[in-house]
Structures are given as structure tokens and as C-alpha cells.
Chains A and B, each alone.
Chain A
Amino acid sequence: MSAPAVPLAERLQERGPTDWTAPEMQARIARRYRGERNFRRLGMLALIVAASFLAFLLFTIVRDGWTGFQRSEARLEVTFDAAVLGVDPAAVRGPDGAALLARADYPGLLLKAAEQLGPASDTLSDAAWLELRDALLADPALLGKQASLWVPVRSGIDLLAKGKYDLSAPADSRGVSDEEVADWRWLDGQGRLRTGFNMAFLTGADSTEPELAGIGGAALGSLLTLLITIAIAFPLGVLSAVWLEEFAPRGRLADLIELSINNLAAVPSIIFGLLGLAFFLNIAGLPRSAPLVGGITLALMIMPVIVIAARVAIKAVPPSIRDAALGIGASPIQVVFHHVLPLALPGIMTGTIIGIARALGETAPLLLIGMRAFVTDVPEGITAPATVLPMQVFLWSDDVQRGFVEKTSAAILVLLVILIAMNSLAIYLRNRFERRW
């Protein structure tokens, strides 16, 4: 047995009062305060690291991406020669003139017009003839006349014009051939190059050529997919939240549903892709790569998010509202649909928008159900092959052509702007309409 413990008060009395002015106590206090300051700085440092990472990410994407919204064009004097186009000028003025013009030989016309570019005649984009067609279709009177048009150039020249290559590097490591550099210098020297806004990037679909690729098709695919997702996930999520909060009898079924929802909320998204592949594609036989299947898969994925948000919002409506409605003769269903849901709606909408934003940025499950298809046209419907915005980012990031780097970053910028807008809307709704009881 140890010696009987001396009571604390007695020990303190024996030690006497602490001499705070003593050098060792001063040093001790200084050390403790230093520790305090350092700890505080460490906390600030952690936040600064996280924030500067975000800033660095945004900076690199904006730096690489803003030029993706531009494209370089070369000036071309085009003579719309009916003979080269292979059309009969008399027939063009006839009733089927427009159809005849649409079928004319524009690639041949382009080839002829490009001769004026001399050494740089092969710098025009493969689809530059589309510009000639559009110009002539817009103004058929141009037939037989000369016009000055701006047509897109190849990706290599485009990148040179944007200064994306380090020309001081040795020729074999700078990633661009000497001929292309010479072509670009010639075009630039002639004053034939300009950089304009790339409308085709926003409206067009995917292409193998970076200067022609656009996100319009992917954006429409995202829209179709999200419409399906909302149409399924919103009613399902809200109604099951209503049942769980207002009607579910305490018991095994309610527990099982609650457990399922909590687990589904944490299941990795790629598992939903496996479900989509095994069930919707292989068993139910729905079409591959289609917004329909993508939308259903994402709906199952975000449904738990909506259920959880809706339950919180419904729970926040005070019981006095329910009691008052019940007291004047409303049935439980009327109470919910006439009073509780309208009051809970802002919270439900906030959760729904956050869920949809998650679905919009999701890629992994869609990879497995084949939405990585190379789609060169705007999707026609919910069962036609389509791709979505994040998938377009993924596909382009895989492409070896250098021109796709800026396109990828530009697509990311568009995606981020949409996501930030959605999240701001959610925050606005929450602040503007949510009532504190």
C-alpha cells in the first residue's frame, strides 16, 4: 500500500502561491502562448492550402480553357463559280433552287479557293466548306460573284495563333512541325488570320477534329438525361419522404426502408452503373447509351439525397400546423398536401437542386451503361445514343490531340458555371424562402 494521499488543498498550501513573475514561469507562459499562436496558424494554413488548391485548379482551367471559346479563321476570297460548284445558274433560280444549292460541290470550291493561300493551302479545316455553303445558302445572289469569307483553320494553326506552343524549344520537342510553323507565319504575315468567337463550340456536337468539336450535343444529352432523372427522382423522393415522416407505422418495414435509403446514399456511384448494366440493359433490354437508361440510373442514385432533404424539411414544419388543420376537419392526407408540403417546399427544392447538381456532374455510372459513345450529332430523343457534359470532358481528356486540351478545359468551365449557378439557386432558395419557426 502506498502512503495515504495528501489532500489537494493541503498540497497547494504547502507549495505556496505561484510566483508568476519568476523567469521560469514567464518562460512557461511564453511557451504556452507560442504554442497557441502556432496552433492557430496551423489551422489557418490548412484552410489556405485547401482554398489555394481550389484557386490553382480554377486558375489552370481558366488559363487553358478560355481560348477554347475562340477559334482562328483565315480570310479567303471565294468566287462562287457555278461551273466549279457543278450547278446550273438557271436551275438555281427555279423552284428547287435551294435544294440544288445545298447539294453543290463546296469541297471542290474550297479546294480551288485555297490555291490563293499558296504554301499554306492545306491549313484550312476539313469542314471549312460548310462556311462556304452557309454563306451561299444565306445569300444565293452571291452565285457567280466574289466574296471575302472567314473560314476555320486546322487545329495546329489555331494553337499556333493562340501562342500555345513554345517556339523557342528545339523543333523535335515542341510538338508542332516546321511546315505548320512556316504556314502560320505566312498566313499571319499576309494579315489573313483572325481569332473570333467559336459559336460552333457551344452549338456543335463531338468531332474527331478539335477545331470542329462542340459541347452542344453533350449539353442536350445532359438536359434529356436530367429531365428523366427529375421526372422519376422528385416524385418518388418526396412521396416516400412523406410516407416515412407522416404515415409510416413504427415497425420493421419502416426500419428496413430507412436502412435502405441511408445505405443507398453512401453506395459508390459506380455500383449504380453496375445495376444499370446488369438490370436495365441486360435484363430489361433497354437501349444502350441512351438518356433514358442514364436518367433512370441517376434517379435511383439521387433519390436518397432528395428523401433525406425532404424528410428534414417536413420534420421542420411545426406540429401546431398539423394540429390546427386536423382540428378543423382536414384528413391526414389533406393536412400533408395542403399544408405541410407547401411549407416544406423550399427545403425540398434545395435538396432536389443539390441532388440534380450531383447527377449533372456524375460520370462513373454512365460509363458503364455505354454513354461514352462517340456521338457526332445532337441526340434525337431519349432512346437515341447520347453523351453528357462530364462524359464529354472525360472523352476529350483521353484524346491525344493537343487541340482537345483547351476544349476539355472550356467544357469544364461551362460545366462549372452551370453547377455554380444551380448551387447558388439552392442557397438563394434556402435563404429566401425557408422559415424559421
Chain B
Amino acid sequence: MRLLIALILVLGLAGLAYLAGRARADRMALAAAGGGSRLGTIHSRPVHHGVYVAMLALAPALLVLLGWGVLGDRMVAGQVIATLPAAEQPATPNDRAALLNEVRGLVSGDLPKAFNPLAERLAPVYAAADANGDLLAGALAVALLCAGGAWGYSRLRPDFRARNRVERHVRTILLLTSVVAILTTFGIVLSLIFESIRFFQMVSPVEFLTGLQWSPQTALRADQVGASGAFGAVPLFWGTIFIGAIIAMAVAIPLGLMSAIYLTQYADPRLRRWLKPVLELLAGVPTVVYGFFAALTVAPLVRSFAVALGMTDASSDSALAAGLVMGIMIVPFVSSMADDALTAVPGAMRDGSLAMGATMSETVKKVMVPAALPGIIGGVLLAVSRAIGETMIVVMAAGLAANLTANPFSSVTTVTTQIVALLTGDQEFDSAKTLSAFALGLVLFVMTLILNIYALAVVKKYREAYE
């Protein structure tokens, strides 16, 4: 809260710095013009002078506040713990964290009373140190702001190149925003790899990648049944491929491809204008809605169908229900990729075939689809990568039992389902069970990455072939 007030104060002062710089530039222009035209009397526009002063004032102050915001808590905590005599200092990092949590709770008023008497004693010390630190950081920020602003203000001259300086910094800011994308990618890769390494210290990668038994429940006591837990992820990989790459694609490829062919080759432009948004609407439905629909409406239908076929052990969370709905979800995706691929086929090929007397369907089957095939395959691979990464449909409609079966009416589980199941309970973060979710995430990330890079390369090469 105090930090927020400091931030608002700093921003307000920087606004004043901007106004001061601009006013000074205005005066300089007026003086130089001497009643004549002000055009060209100063190098940069007054706005640039103002922004220059504000920038010099704001940057160091913001850095101070940001640094205090990130490190302040830790510095105050260290200071407070250091006031304790050596005998009373918490022995382990866990004790220390627990103690500090209680102290913070007391200070903020969330906690009416602490369990640890030490916390009661430390709370006022902590509050005082925190207030001191905030005050110090705020004062330093304001001092730096004034100094920076004054220095910038003193440098303004009619021939001062404020615009060049301001724009150099603006370019740097633009560059920094672009780097966020790289940082995000690195953040994903690093967090997945670090947690996976911790997991692979407990479970061998060979067992994880080739084992056929998946039961991540680690028992609380060593003598319980299944105390060790088994981390063979092959059934999960199979389930993911079975639902996402086989059943869903068996629905999505024919439907998507035929819709694209109909829309690009046959449909009346007016009909096309109506039908395309309908397909796009399918793509815009949130996946949680598809999941609800799959679990509540499609799964019972599939189950009664299986029972009617004479299957006694038909599961109510069958692979087929989840795969069917996921396939429908992917249809617009396949359709728009196939649409792009078909439109990219040169018109001369189509016209040539039609001129030879082939019917439209013969042209499509024998000329256009073969010509567009690389583009279509690329699109299908992208669709597969999306299907195996899809989470909510399988979480809600597929099961948790890790079966290695090709029966679409039985229950299988997928990588994403398990990630959610492993990470949504309450458990400590260091167990093999929770860490295995990150190893699964790493596998999923690598699989989708390879599919995407390969598919994009195929599509790109195909486009170049016809350009």
C-alpha cells in the first residue's frame, strides 16, 4: 500500500517534470522567434524536451521502487531474524518460512493470533523495519527523481537534440518488449527442465519413457500397498495418441477436408458467407463447454451404443466420447488449413483439368488435392498438435485409468488429464507425484514443438513451390 502511494507520487512528479521541460522549451522557442515564426527556432518539438526530462526523472526512481518491491520483503525478513539471539533463530528454512508467514499475517491483520510466541514478539519489529524500508526507498526514489529531472532540465538548449535522445530510448523499449517472447519461451523450457531433472533423480528416464505401469499414488507410509508408485508413462502416451491423433482425426479429417472442398469449389458465394462463420463459431466455443457436452450428453450415448452392441464392460468415460467431441472441435481448424492449401493451388491447374472435360469432383480428387497435399498434411499435423495438447475435453470426459487398450469404448487417460490430476490436489511440491507432471509437460511440449516446426516447414515449402 505504501509502495503504491510512492509509485503514484513518483508518477505525478514525473508528470510535473514533463510539464516543466515542455514549458521551458516553449519559452526558448518564443525567445528565439522574437515575435516572428517559431518554426525551426529549436531543434526538437517542446513535447520531446518534456518527455526527455520526464524520462531522466522517472527511470532511476522506478528502478529503485521496483528493486525494493522485489527484494524488500527478503531484506526486511533477514533484518528481523537477525535481531533474534542465536539460540532462538529458526533452525531450518522451513521453520523460518513458517515463522515469517505468521509474522506477516500478524502485521497485515489477516491473522488475529499467532501460534508461535516468537512471531508475536517479532511482529512489531517487522512492522517497524518494513515501514522504515518503505520510507527509505520512497525517499531515495524521490531524491533520484529530482536529481535526474533537474539534470535533464538544465541540459535543455534551443539546439539540444531531445527528439533523437528520446527516440533512441523508445527504440530500446520496443526491443525490450519483443524480448519478452524469448523470455517466455526460455521460462517455459527452463521451468519444465528443472522440475523434470528433479523428477528424473527419483525415477529413471528409461522407466518413465518405456514403463507400462502408471500409478503415481505415493503412499504416506512405507508399508502401505503400492507404496512406491509406478511411473511408466507409455499408457498415457498411447491414450493421448489414441484420442487426439486417431479418433479425433478420424472425425476431423473427412469432415474438415470435405467442408473445405465444398466451400471453396462448390458453394455459392452467398452460402459461403453464411457457412464460414458457423464453422468459425465451432472454433470459438470454449473447450470447457465441449468437455461438459462430451461428459454429459455424448458419453452416455456412446455407452448405450456400446451396450447395444453387446459390450458389458463399456465405460462411461470412453475414449470414443472424448475423441468424437475433440474431432468436432478440430474441424474448423482442419477446414481452414485445407481451405488455404486448396486456394493456393494455381488456378491454371484447375482450369486446365476442367477444360480437358474432367468433372469438378475428378479435378478435385486427381488434380487439386494431390497438388495441395503437402499443405493439407501440414495442416493436419498442426491439428494433431492442437488435439494432443487439448486439456479440458479429456479432463472432463476421458478417464483416469491408465489402460493400454485399443478398444474405443473403454477408458484411457491422456498426458494432459494426468497433469491436471497430479497438480490440483493438495500435496507437497517435492514428491515424485507432483514433479512427474512437469516431466509429462516436457514430453508434451517437445512433441507439440516437433510437430509444429515440421508442419510449418512443410506448409512453407509447399507455398514456395507455387509462388
Please indicate whether A and B come from the same complex rather than being unrelated chains.
Answer: yes
Report the Cα distance A255→B364, complex, angstroms.
37
Q: Contact: A268 with B396, CB < 8 Å?
A: no
Report the Cα distance A36→B361, complex, angstroms.
5
State whether A50 and B359 are in contact (beta carbons under 8 Å apart), knowing that A260-B182, A397-B295, A405-B296 are contacts in the complex. no
Q: Contact: A390 with B389, CB < 8 Å?
A: no
State whether A51 and B278 are in contact (beta carbons under 8 Å apart), knowing that A43-B261, A61-B293 are contacts in the complex. yes
Q: Contact: A57 with B288, CB < 8 Å?
A: no
Q: Which residue of A lies closest to B262 (CB)?
A: A43
Q: Contact: A275 with B187, CB < 8 Å?
A: yes
CB contact between B389 and one of A260, A268, A360, A361 (< 8 Å): that residue: A268
1/0 contact string of B239-257 vs chain A (CB within 8 Å): 0000000000000001111
State whether A331 and B181 are in contact (beta carbons under 8 Å apart), knowing that A361-B286, A363-B392, A405-B296 are contacts in the complex. no
CB contact between B191 and one of A266, A275, A364, A415 (< 8 Å): that residue: A275
Q: Which residue of A lies closest to B360 (CB)?
A: A36
For residue B413, CB closer than 8 A to chain A, the reply is no
Of the 9-residue stretches A5-13, A187-195, A210-218, A277-285, which lies at the interface with chain B?
A: A277-285
Task: Report B359 CB to chain A, min CB distance, Å.
Answer: 4
Q: Contact: A394 with B392, CB < 8 Å?
A: yes
Task: Report B177 CB to chain A, min CB distance, Å.
Answer: 4
Report the Cα distance A242→B429, complex, angstroms.
41
For residue A307, CB closer than 8 A to chain B, the reply is yes
Report the Cα distance A362→B285, complex, angstroms.
10
CB contact between B174 and one of A240, A278, A405 (< 8 Å): that residue: A240
For residue B348, CB closer than 8 A to chain A, the reply is no
State whether A244 and B289 are in contact (beta carbons under 8 Å apart), knowing that A45-B258, A282-B429 are contacts in the complex. no
Report the Cα distance A266→B456, complex, angstroms.
11
1/0 contact string of B163-180 vs chain A (CB within 8 Å): 110010011011101111
Q: Which residue of B lies closest to A248 (CB)?
A: B178
For residue B228, CB closer than 8 A to chain A, the reply is no
For residue A171, CB closer than 8 A to chain B, the reply is no
For residue B445, CB closer than 8 A to chain A, the reply is yes
State whether A236 and B177 are in contact (beta carbons under 8 Å apart), knowing that A50-B282, A282-B429 are contacts in the complex. yes
Q: Contact: A266 with B180, CB < 8 Å?
A: no
Of the 9-residue stretches B115-123, B304-312, B416-424, which lies at the interface with chain A?
A: B416-424
Q: Contact: A243 with B262, CB < 8 Å?
A: no
Q: Contact: A423 with B284, CB < 8 Å?
A: yes
Please give, as numbers and ranges, the residues of chain B lying within 8 Å of A274 by CB-CB distance.
188, 191-192, 419, 437-438, 441
CB contact between B445 and one of A39, A242, A267, A362 (< 8 Å): that residue: A267
For residue B411, CB closer than 8 A to chain A, the reply is no
Please give, as numbers and ranges, the residues of chain A lying within 8 Å of B424 by CB-CB distance.
367-368, 372
Q: List 12 A-B contacts (CB under 8 A).
A: A35-B362, A50-B331, A263-B185, A267-B448, A268-B391, A270-B441, A362-B286, A368-B419, A393-B288, A394-B292, A394-B392, A416-B289
Residues of B within 8 A of A (CB): 163-164, 167, 170-171, 173-175, 177-182, 184-185, 187-188, 191-192, 194-195, 254-259, 261-263, 265-266, 275, 277-282, 284-293, 295-297, 328, 331-332, 359-362, 364-365, 382, 385-386, 388-392, 395-396, 416, 419-420, 423-424, 429, 437-438, 441, 444-445, 448-449, 452-453, 456
Rank and list the top 10 A-B pairs by shortest CB-CB distance, nearest first.
A268-B389, A43-B262, A361-B286, A46-B258, A39-B361, A278-B191, A364-B391, A243-B174, A240-B178, A239-B177
